[in-house]
Amino acid sequence: MRFVKMNGCGNDFVILDARDRGALPLSKAQAKAIANRSAGMGCDQVIALERSIRGDAFMRIWNANGEEVGACGNGARCVAWLLMEEGGDLKKIETAAGVLRAERRGPDQVMVDLGSPLLRWEEIPIARAMDTVRLDYAVEAAGVHVAAPGAANMGNPHVTFFVKSLDRLPIDKLGPKVERDPFFPEGVNVGFAEIRARDLIRLRVWERGAGLTKACGTGACASVVAAHRAGFVDRQARVIVDGGELEIEWNAKDDRVRMTGSVALEHIGELDPPKARAAPKRAPVKKAARKGV
């Protein structure tokens, strides 16, 4: 089976095109094996393109640990670029979290509209009712204490801690501790943001099921949403990640979050197709889905 290896600001993906067979029923073990950086192709997420009646393609996503998830912002930008190379500069991508709209903004620049953020405590979700602007939550690891993160769901759950400096912050200790805390019933992506100006954030993200990555698109969006709600930044900001930069806008008129950044094609190859088994049912879009998604 043909695969494409791509990255969005360093956030890398193995993309399998299964549109000719309708669906790609990867098991957790198969997805994990593909994502393995030592024995497999190596990536943060494995993505399958499948047939869609709501968009130009359905994007199925597995994290590096083999767990299937509903959204991936940088992955959507890479998929959109591949579809645009087949023709057209506007694409609709169906995901388990809804239909995303993408637009070409340059030879390697793609914008994706991720819809409206979910902000209520039960939409994140977290274990009990509270204000999500600043959660009543704290964690300590390696002698470092962080607290009161903002929370947002951008198709997947995120918390963002605001810190004075990312230098020497033990993200490899703090991240997994927060990710697996029962306070977050479905696990959570963990962002650590350093506010540098009203329109500039430096961000590192411990991704649920993938670990520390060079970039996280939905994490960048969630960081701007959380930082704006806390009064730290305006509605449009540049987010510097380890692999590059992303432009994020949370539009006040339509409440939609749009992300623009670069994508890169690394290589194309062939993988042995997985053994056939019954295709999993697509998860329905939750009633609390983001507006317009």
Catalytic residue (one of 9, 43, 78, 216): 216
**Catalytic annotation present for 72:** yes
Eight-class DSSP state of 166: -
**Catalytic annotation present for 216:** yes
Catalytic residue (one of 9, 72, 78, 221): 72
3-class DSSP string for 2-51? EEEEEEECCEEEEEEECCCCCCCCCCHHHHHHHHCCCCCCCCCEEEEEEC
φ/ψ (deg, to 5) at 30: -65, -45
Nearest CA to 55 out of 123, 116, 13, 113 is that of 113
3-class DSSP string for 95-146? ECCEEEEEEEEECCEEEEECCCCECCHHHCCCCCCCCCCCCCCEEEECCEEE
Q: For residues 49 and 86, give the distance between their C-alpha atoms in angstroms, rounded to a whole number.
A: 14
First to last CA, the chain: 31
Residues annotated as catalytic are 72, 216
